[in-house]
Amino acid sequence: MGGDQLSFLPPEPPAAKLTARQTEALFHIGKTHPIDNETLGAFLHSRRRALRGHGGHALDDRCQYCTSEGTAMGRRLRELGYVRWKRGHGWYIPGVATEGNTSTGYDPATAPFPDGF
């Protein structure tokens, strides 16, 4: 039987290659969006503490670097095409409804499977 079993999957575009840190930030944005820069930075700092056992701080704490680190991560994910920024709200994943914001009409329970599945 020739060929790879996964050959039916489309190739991953180069921009989709995220670091573990970027991937976790993207999942966190997806769970909590819209999310502001300071809150995203606090998540990244709490992740650092959890992984290293030192540095960073608890998720509910804030420091002088939270906003700048959250801004940098959000901008990078936006450059890669994963998130967008809405002034007054924060980072969000386009096309995914949030609690209290169902204007996109996206419902994961009834959404069709992506092409290729």
Place of tokens 């998540």: 43
Is residue 43 classed as helix, strand or coil in its secondary structure?
helix
Residue 102 has pLDDT above 50, yes or no: no
Measured distance CA(51)–CA(68) in Å, rounded: 21
Cβ within 8 Å of residue 108, ≥6 positions away: none
**What pTM did the predictor assign?**
0.67
Choice between 46 and 112, residue whose per-residue pLDDT is larger: 46
Residue 116 has pLDDT above 80, yes or no: no
Say what percent of the chain tops pLDDT 90: 39
